[in-house]
Amino acid sequence: MAKTKAFKPKARRPRGFEDRAADVLRAERALVAAASGVYERWGFEPLETPAFEYADALGKFLPDEERPNEGVFALQDDDEQWMALRYDLTAPLARFAAENFQNLAKPFRRYQFGEVWRNEKPGPGRFRQFVQCDADSVGAGGPAADAEMIALAAEVMGAAGLTEGDFLIRVNDRRLLDGVLEQLGDAAAEKRLRVLRAIDKLDRLGLEGVEQLLGAGRKDESGDFTEGAGLDAGQAAKVLSFVEIQSLAAEQADPTRFTLDRLTATLGETSSGKAAVGDLEAIVDMLDALGKSPSWTLDTTVVRGLGYYTGPVFEAELLASATYEDGSPMRFGSVGGGGRYDDLVARFTGQAVPATGFSFGVSRFAAALSALGRLDAAEPDPLVVVVAAEKDRMADYFRLAAELRAAGLRAESFVGGGNMGKQLKYADRRGAAFAVIVGSEEREAGTVAVKDLALGKRLAEKMTDRSEWEERPQQFTVPRDGLVAAILERLQG
């Protein structure tokens, strides 16, 4: 009888997911640590919510409202309730705030970082799983909380290694567009959302693409068709005129004053527009008082993609440039943003609970900072590998590695098997600073042989004559009880 061939699954990653190597993870952790330090200094408290939330708690606030059943990864629990992996950190915060509302000091100021998942079509730089880092104030109404959040975003940019001119916080208010729609006589929720999404694509599609999305719709290069907002030509022209305020302001001596005056003139008679302009005036005054003027600007094209924003919104854009190896420019664009979302907690409580926040994608931001050479990711401590020269002495090698770790060093005993050459090659591939060898001769003599691998690598790259090897030999021997001190001395030297 023929043997059944054993099934061998193909090693492959699911589309839209990525493996992150050690250098990437260290860079991301350095960025999160820098941001968390800012949040702590500004009085925010850490919070961790679970990866899963009940799908009805997410409600209509999905990342892709065009495909509400496909925007999240969901499964049914044993009690037949649907749960979904969180698509951001804001919706879980709203649920937490509502669930613990009576016991929280308001405003509740929290920050959180963690994985989020979105069931969207993957593409270059667009993943289905990524890390976000957020700060939010729940129960904070009025423009002061929004101004603080914008200033906080600028502070995070600075903590990440960026300086004046490297970034710009672009500020707008969702209610301005509501004022435009009031003037059009049709502010239906569906039409409003599609108008928002159309404007949000200005940087990528240009005015022509936005105009198509404001009207009947647009077909992209792949042939996929996106249904438009259904505005007629006159209505679309009014929206585009609002969007173009930004380009006109850039030509003025005082762009901020020009923008506020133009918005007052065009939208000041609408209830939404009047409220928005008033809050923007206050935000401008407070940001000026904080000395943040060079790091932000008013920009009527900023709308943010998610549907739950209700007032001031902002995006942090990288202006600093870098190039690929072939000399072509890297374009980073927006690396974070946020805004006011006063209706999110109210879904649970039935009462208005104002809230505002700031969020950035850790992987995208860290990658951009690394490309710019601005992210000071801490290198791991030097590694010491204890070679298993005698297989029956593993307990001794474990004890030796434990002594090194107790002294604050990073150390491991080799447990992979193989001869001395294989183990030293392993230490080289790991980038180890030292390899410690205790064979039978060393054990009987009460000594330890140490290979200074880091020195050997440096000498191999820079050596001009043999005397350098003799002055600072790559391998040396020390008494067994002097090993830790010898390695610490070498590291300090």
Distance separating alpha carbons of residues 81 and 113, to the nearest angstrom: 27
Tracing tokens 């003139």 back to the chain, one arrives at 265
Q: State what percent of residues in the chain have pLDDT above 90.
A: 46
* Class level of CATH domain 22-372: alpha beta
Q: What single-letter amino acid sits at 166?
A: D
Among residues 194, 319, 313, 297, which one has the least CA distance to residue 245? 297
Give per-residue pLDDT as tens, 232-272. Answer: 888 888 888 888 888 888 888 899 999 999 999 888 788 99
- Give the pTM: 0.80
* Residue 62: predicted pLDDT: 47
Fold match flag (22-372 vs 383-492): no
Among residues 38, 321, 313, which one has the least CA distance to residue 160? 38
φ and ψ at residue 467, rounded to 5 degrees: -65, -30
Cα angle for residues 278, 60, 112 (degrees, 5° grid): 70
Query: In 3-state terms, what secondary structure has residue 25?
Result: helix
Per-residue pLDDT band for 208 (boundaries 50, 70, 90) equals confident
* Residue 306: predicted pLDDT: 58
User: CB–CB of 364/129 below 8 Å?
Assistant: no
Structure tokens at 362: 């850790």
Per-residue pLDDT band for 130 (boundaries 50, 70, 90) equals very high
* Residue 67: predicted pLDDT: 47
Distance separating alpha carbons of residues 349 and 358, to the nearest angstrom: 23
Mean of pLDDT values over 292-308: 79
Give per-residue pLDDT as tens, 59-88. Answer: 654 444 444 456 788 888 889 888 999 989
User: CB–CB of 303/246 below 8 Å?
Assistant: no
Distance separating alpha carbons of residues 199 and 203, to the nearest angstrom: 9
User: CB–CB of 421/414 below 8 Å?
Assistant: no
Among residues 319, 278, 356, 306, which one has the least CA distance to residue 163? 319
Please, what sign has the CA dihedral across residues 77, 81, 86, 92? negative
Query: In 3-state terms, what secondary structure has residue 202?
Result: helix
Distance separating alpha carbons of residues 159 and 81, to the nearest angstrom: 42
Lowest mean pLDDT among 111-115, 308-312, 477-481: 308-312
| DSSP per-residue string spanning 42-85 | TT-EE----SEEEHHHHTT--S-TTSTTTSS-EEE-TTS-EEEE
Lowest mean pLDDT among 38-52, 372-386, 421-435: 372-386
For residues 323 and 2, which has the higher predicted lDDT (pLDDT)? 323
User: CB–CB of 456/477 below 8 Å?
Assistant: no
Cα angle for residues 309, 312, 314 (degrees, 5° grid): 90
Per-residue pLDDT band for 332 (boundaries 50, 70, 90) equals confident
Distance separating alpha carbons of residues 109 and 135, to the nearest angstrom: 7
Distance separating alpha carbons of residues 78 and 437, to the nearest angstrom: 55
Distance separating alpha carbons of residues 38 and 406, to the nearest angstrom: 32
* Residue 61: predicted pLDDT: 45
* Residue 246: predicted pLDDT: 82
Kindly report whether the peptide bond that precedes residue 255 is cis, defined as omega within 30 degrees of 0. Answer: no
Per-residue pLDDT band for 186 (boundaries 50, 70, 90) equals low
What are the structural domain ranges in the chain? Answer: 22-372, 383-492
Distance separating alpha carbons of residues 272 and 19, to the nearest angstrom: 45
Distance separating alpha carbons of residues 478 and 456, to the nearest angstrom: 18
Structure tokens at 481: 């009880």
Type and span of the H or E element at 217? strand 217-219
Mean of pLDDT values over 183-198: 72
Lowest mean pLDDT among 103-112, 128-137, 202-211, 371-380: 371-380
Distance separating alpha carbons of residues 189 and 59, to the nearest angstrom: 15
* b/e 227-251 (16+ beta carbons within 10 angstroms → b): ebbbbeeebbebbbebbebbeebee
| DSSP per-residue string spanning 243-274 | HTHHHHHTTSSSHHHHHHHHHHHHHTTSHHHH
| DSSP per-residue string spanning 312-333 | EEEEEEE---EE-TTSPEE--E
Paired with 450 in beta bridges are 436, 476
Kindly report whether the peptide bond that precedes residue 124 is cis, defined as omega within 30 degrees of 0. Answer: no
Asked whether residue 131 carries a pLDDT value surpassing 60, the answer given is yes
CA end-to-end span of the chain, whole Å?
69
In the 8-state DSSP scheme, what is residue 166? Answer: S
Distance separating alpha carbons of residues 114 and 401, to the nearest angstrom: 33
In the 8-state DSSP scheme, what is residue 393? Answer: G
Superfamily covering domain 383-492: Anticodon-binding domain (3.40.50.800)
φ and ψ at residue 129, rounded to 5 degrees: -135, 130
Structure tokens at 210: 């936005």
User: CB–CB of 131/115 below 8 Å?
Assistant: yes
Distance separating alpha carbons of residues 406 and 428, to the nearest angstrom: 23
